[in-house]
Structure 1
């Protein structure tokens, strides 16, 4: 498969691109900022905890660490705490206390993303003339 068709992951294009609750509608600005700041700090703390646990298994590949049958219990617990911190942040934007399943979580993220992007100006071709061949 050519590299242009492969998925690519990095902190710049995946981790930092999830919708953030600050932009949700109906927030009191000061209350929202305080809540979002606390949520962000909690997420950063739990994300670092995941990295710290993974560092304890430096000789293991990611495939080994994330094998559902052999995942270290400490890593699973660290991810569960990170998930809980993220879910709590979603509540700031009107998300549920708990998601029924991963599909419900993804649906909420898409709804939040749609709300955020609907505030962006349309990137139209106004003023541009078509090229002549």
Structure 2
């Protein structure tokens, strides 16, 4: 028979997480109703997506630079997500493995820097 008592801390943690996340969603809405901050206007009730007005034709062309900047942000955000665990564990490897890991990360950072320079030279980061 399986002893399920080992899963009790995980279930307690999930329960607390669900209660807190629900509270962070519901409590600001309730507080705005009671404090009078909830005053809907036509401007507040309009849809707002990606910085473009919602009153145009949905098939109209738009500038792709907004999405390019978003993709560049995601790339550099992932770089940070790779660098933090690497920085914690690289020198714990010891010997030649730590130098191999260090050179591998320097190559990774150099590739990302070259991509940033390329995007900069192409004018992808220039906002008009």
* TM score, norm. by length of structure 1: 0.29
Higher helix share: 2
Larger radius of gyration: 2
Question: Which structure carries more relative contact order (alpha carbon 8 Å, separation 6+)?
Answer: 1
